[in-house]
């Protein structure tokens, strides 16, 4: 099983509670005006990675960066839901103490019920709903007021989610990654 991946980040402080590894999947058909990540929309771009490769990357990232979990964003993870579900199940089996989160532009009502129930059992939190540039939010983790942050386990409470901020990472090769909430967030250099 493979995922089409846009980018990986070994450690982020703005994509959920604590230090988190982040995967941005490739492919989103929603086309929300003003999307912060339009480079993730084309489903034919990005890299095709086997779930096993992603798990190896995560194991290394968690050892070297002491992350407490994984956040999957995009693109839209629900457009690759079967592979994302396999990844989450295998991650939880290999790293039972790790937490998982997901960002999707879909609402719970739009997702196939059985698939979404299976996905919820693997998640600690999810941010759901389309980005709406006209309804900006300053609430933790949600970019517009129509989006919702859902908690699926007792691992976190709403108080665990920090105010919006932006992270800038520059690696030894000069690759620059910007993540977080660029409109309202304050910068954090990583």
Residue 147 has pLDDT above 80, yes or no: yes
Tell me: the pLDDT tens digits for 81-139? Answer: 999 999 999 999 999 999 999 999 999 999 999 999 999 999 999 999 998 888 888 88
pLDDT of residue 190: 44
pLDDT of residue 189: 43
pLDDT over 90, % of the chain: 70
Structural domain count, the chain: 1
Mean pLDDT of the chain: 90
pLDDT of residue 182: 64
Q: Which residue has the higher pLDDT, 159 or 36?
A: 159
Contacts 24+ apart (CB under 8 A), 49-52: 49/2, 49/3, 49/4, 49/5, 50/1, 50/2, 51/1, 51/2, 51/3, 51/83, 51/86, 51/87, 51/90
54, 152, 178, 183, 186 from 90: Cα distances, Å: 10, 18, 28, 35, 35
What residue numbers bound the domain in which 6 lies? 2-189
Q: Tell me how far apart the alpha carbons of residues 90 and 121 are, in angstroms, rounded to a whole number.
A: 13
Tell me: the pLDDT tens digits for 156-190? Answer: 999 999 877 778 878 778 777 777 776 544 444 44
- Can you tell me whether residue 47 is helix, strand or coil? strand
pLDDT of residue 133: 83
- Under DSSP, the state recorded for 78 is G
Cβ 121 vs Cβ 86: under 8 Å: no
Q: Which residue has the higher pLDDT, 185 or 49?
A: 49
Beta strand 99-104 with 125-128 is: parallel
pLDDT of residue 140: 82
The stretch 29-48 carries a mean pLDDT of 91
Total residue count of the chain as it appears in this document? 190
pLDDT of residue 183: 59
């Amino acid at each position: 099983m493979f995922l089409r991946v846009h980018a990986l980040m070994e450690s982020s402080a703005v994509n959920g509670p604590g230090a988190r590894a982040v995967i941005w999947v490739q492919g989103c058909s929603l086309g929300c005006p003003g999307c912060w990540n339009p480079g993730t929309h084309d489903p034919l771009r990005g890299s095709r990675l086997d779930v096993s490769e992603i798990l190896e990357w995560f194991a290394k990232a968690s050892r070297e960066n002491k992350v407490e979990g994984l956040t999957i964003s995009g693109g839209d993870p629900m457009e690759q839901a079967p592979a994302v579900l396999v990844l989450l199940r295998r991650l939880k089996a290999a790293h039972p103490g790790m937490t998982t989160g997901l960002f999707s532009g879909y609402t719970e009502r739009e997702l196939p019920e059985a698939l979404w129930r299976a996905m919820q059992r693997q998640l600690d939190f999810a941010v759901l709903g389309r980005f709406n540039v006209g309804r900006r939010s300053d609430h933790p983790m949600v970019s517009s007021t129509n989006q919702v942050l859902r908690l699926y386990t007792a691992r976190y409470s709403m108080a665990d989610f920090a105010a919006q901020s932006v992270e800038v990472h520059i690696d030894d090769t000069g690759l620059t990654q910007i993540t977080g909430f660029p409109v309202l967030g304050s910068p954090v250099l990583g």
